[in-house]
Structure 1
Amino acid sequence: MLLANLVHKASDFVDKICCKLIITILAMMVLTTSLQIVCRVFFSALSWSEELTRYLLVYLTFFGASSVYKRNGHISVLVMQQLLSPKLQKFASIFVIILCGAFFSIATMYGMKYMGLQGSQLSAALRIPMKYVYMSIPIGFSIMILHSVDNVINICFGKGDEN
């Protein structure tokens, strides 16, 4: 039970950080895009703004996906699952979460490999190492693994409808 509480608190803490990062990244994207519009109209276009916005969008996507996953907000088809008995519904939920966790683990592993392979490249306009952009893949999926473990623990201890 101590481990369950620790995992749940870690999942909640990471989710709070993700929510704050989502807001910050979205604000940075709006400011960068607005600055680009002003500069394009009154001065000359900025060469780096579109690239920065694109990379911020990548991070926003992974942090947003993990935050939505924490709240069970992704689209799912539950027709077959709702036809099952409550005990089998619980088993089916755990099975689906474990499958998702396996996918997240594989995606994390390949994301780290991809980050290593392409990490020495520099971005065209910002000239930053691309490993910082590709790092969003293992970070995002690792967060989703943590949320998967938390979801399984919550279902097993009877707190499955808490989120």
Structure 2
Amino acid sequence: MAVAKAINKVSDLLDKICSVILVAMLAGMVLTTSLQIICRVFFTALSWSEEVTRYLLVWSTFLGAGCVYKKGGHISVTFAQEKLPQKLQKVAQVLVHLLCGALFAIAVYYGFKYMDKQGTQLSAALRIPMSLMYMAIPLGCGALLLHAFDAIIQIFVKKEVAGE
């Protein structure tokens, strides 16, 4: 039970941190795009703004997926699951989270491999290592994996609490 609480706290903390980072990234995207529009109309276009916006979008996509998964906000088809008896619904939920967790684990593994393979390149405008951009894949999917693991544990913890 203590391990379940600890994992849940880590998952919640990660979700809060990612939410704050997401707000900052989205604000950065808006500011960069607005600055690019102003500079393009009145001055000379910025050479780096599209790259910054693109990389912020990639990072916000991977971090945002974890926040949405944590809250159960991804689109899902539950009509078949709702037809099952209560106990089988829990089994189906666990199987879905296990399947998602397997996908996330594979994405983490191959994300690190891709980051190592392609990370030595430099970005065109900013001249920063592309490994910083490719790092979004394993880190974002790692957060998703943690949230999936937490969701599975919470299904069993709720079952134990309800049974007491």
TM-score (norm 1): 0.96
Question: Structure 2: where are the runs of 5+ without partners?
Answer: 160-164
Cα separation, 2, equivalents of 1:122 and 1:56:
16
Paired residue for 1:41?
41
The question of 1:114 aligning with 2:114 is answered yes
Identity among equivalent positions (%) equals 58
Q: Secondary structure at the match of 1:73?
A: coil
Cα separation, 2, equivalents of 1:80 and 1:41:
54
Paired residue for 1:5?
5
| Structure 1 stretches of 4+ moved >4 Å | none
Cα separation, 2, equivalents of 1:31 and 1:84:
49
Paired residue for 2:23?
23
Paired residue for 1:64?
64
Deviations 1:66-97 (A, max 9, x none): 00000011011111111110000000000110
Q: Secondary structure at the match of 1:123?
A: coil
Cα separation, 2, equivalents of 1:134 and 1:87:
41
RMSD after superposition:
0.7
The question of 1:155 aligning with 2:155 is answered yes
Supply the AA of the counterpart residue of 1:147. H
The question of 1:128 aligning with 2:128 is answered yes
Supply the AA of the counterpart residue of 2:56. L
Cα distance, 1:158 vs structure 2: 1.1
Cα separation, 2, equivalents of 1:30 and 1:80:
41
Cα separation, 1, equivalents of 2:78 and 2:35:
45
Deviations 1:18-67 (A, max 9, x none): 00001000000011011101111111000000001000000010111100
Cα separation, 2, equivalents of 1:16 and 1:76:
23
Q: Secondary structure at the match of 2:26?
A: helix
Deviations 1:112-147 (A, max 9, x none): 000000000000000000000000000000000110
Supply the AA of the counterpart residue of 1:39. C
Cα separation, 1, equivalents of 2:58 and 2:88:
37
TM-score (norm 2): 0.96
Cα separation, 1, equivalents of 2:103 and 2:125:
33
Cα separation, 1, equivalents of 2:149 and 2:64:
18
How many pairs are equivalent? 159
Question: Structure 1: where are the runs of 5+ without partners?
Answer: none
Cα separation, 2, equivalents of 1:27 and 1:65:
18
